[in-house]
Amino acid sequence: MDWDDLRVFLAVARTESLSAAGKRLGLDPATVGRRIARLEEQTGTGLFTRSPQGYALTEEGARLVPAAEAAEAAALAAEEALRQPQGAGGLSGQIRLGAPDGCANYLLPPVIAAIVAENPGLEVQIVALPRVFNLSRREADMAIGVSRPEAGRLTVQKLSDYHLSLAAHPDYLNGRPKVESLADLRVHRMVGYIPDMIFDKELDYLGGLGVTLVGVASNSVPVQLQLLRAGAGIGVVHDFALPHAPELIRLLPGEVRLTRAFWLIRHEGDSRSARLSRFAALLAEGIRREVARAEAFS
């Protein structure tokens, strides 16, 4: 079975679309369709169910995925061996990293800047989105999550704990009732996530504090921080983001200091990639260092 055909098969399996797969591979959709038809003829079975909604794997197609991914891992390992001769220093090639927008905005820039400075042949793409990344569809080579996934063929590594505090701008607090307990939050305007867009239970900070009404909401952590800086209300802020908003005042510091964790999530087959493993080690070290530095100044 030809690896190039398997490469096309994986692209269609991950995107469920001939056009999306073609865009990813640099091929026109008609060529992708012919390659899939040829592979189905070679295997003697239908690998996809066609519908107006796209291409969905059949049971036989799903069974082919692990073998195709093993071939992909072997091909990538061969590429790495050619790209990085024995004894050569530094990482090279492209790595796409998915991350929640808070981490991507306030932690990753100095970490990635340090990594690429030491590895000038490396190209890093940061995909900053407030959602869970689908690594099986290769939306990214690896992703940072706010909770440990319980399913899927993945490897998971804890990066670092981090902390969050309740905070507000003095302009909002002036002339309003004092906040001396959690019960006092009921008479204040709260800033937080859009409730039905909380993509991970670990992000329901206000719900954990007994807050049920969010007066001003966004699915973006940086937008929430800017709302607090503008005096829109009271909200939960990452301690590592507070150096970017030194005017904010912590509220109930003895009662409210939440602890969460970042996790590095990789596809199981990528554990054999020395290049990705080296990058993951540098990333983990950098994240831990930056969380400690930023929280010390907050």
In single-letter form, the type of residue at position 16 comes to: E
pLDDT at residue 154, as a whole number? 83
pLDDT at residue 69, as a whole number? 78
pLDDT at residue 53, as a whole number? 87
Residue 226 and residue 150 in one domain: no
How many domains does one find in the chain? Answer: 3
Residue 252 lies in a domain: yes
pLDDT at residue 298, as a whole number? 73
Residue 204 lies in a domain: yes
Q: Which of 55, 82, 109 is the last residue of a domain?
A: 82
Residue 78 and residue 97 in one domain: no
| CATH number of domain containing 67 | 1.10.10.10
Residue 150 and residue 274 in one domain: yes
Q: Which pTM value belongs to this model?
A: 0.74
Q: Which domain holds residue 231?
A: 161-260
Residue 298 lies in a domain: no
Q: Which of 57, 82, 107 is the last residue of a domain?
A: 82
Give me the half-sphere count of Cα atoms (radius 13 Å) on the Cβ side of residue 80. Answer: 20
Residue 196 lies in a domain: yes
Express each pLDDT in 270-288 by its tens digit.
766 888 999 999 999 999 9
Residue 151 and residue 266 in one domain: yes
pLDDT at residue 3, as a whole number? 81
* d(C-alpha 118, C-alpha 97), whole Å: 18
Residue 294 lies in a domain: no
Residue 13 lies in a domain: yes
In single-letter form, the type of residue at position 24 comes to: R
Express each pLDDT in 126-182 by its tens digit.
999 876 666 666 778 899 999 998 877 788 999 999 999 999 999 999 999 999 999
| Cβ pair 5, 43 in contact under 8 A | no
Residue 87 lies in a domain: no
* d(C-alpha 35, C-alpha 41), whole Å: 10
Q: List helix spans (H) across the chain.
A: 3-15, 18-25, 29-43, 59-83, 101-106, 108-118, 170-173, 205-208, 221-229, 274-297
Residue 75 and residue 112 in one domain: no
Residue 66 and residue 34 in one domain: yes
pLDDT at residue 137, as a whole number? 66
Residue 26's CB is within 10 A of a number of other CB atoms, namely: 7
Residue 197 and residue 272 in one domain: no
Residue 295 lies in a domain: no
Q: Which of 59, 82, 105 is the last residue of a domain?
A: 82
Residue 151 and residue 126 in one domain: yes
Closest CA to 95 of 220, 105, 111: 111
The DSSP 8-state label assigned to residue 241 in this structure reads G
Residue 178 and residue 127 in one domain: no
Residue 185 and residue 213 in one domain: yes
Residue 175 and residue 251 in one domain: yes
List of the chain residues with pLDDT < 50: 85-87
| CATH number of domain containing 214 | 3.40.190.10
Residue 146 and residue 203 in one domain: no
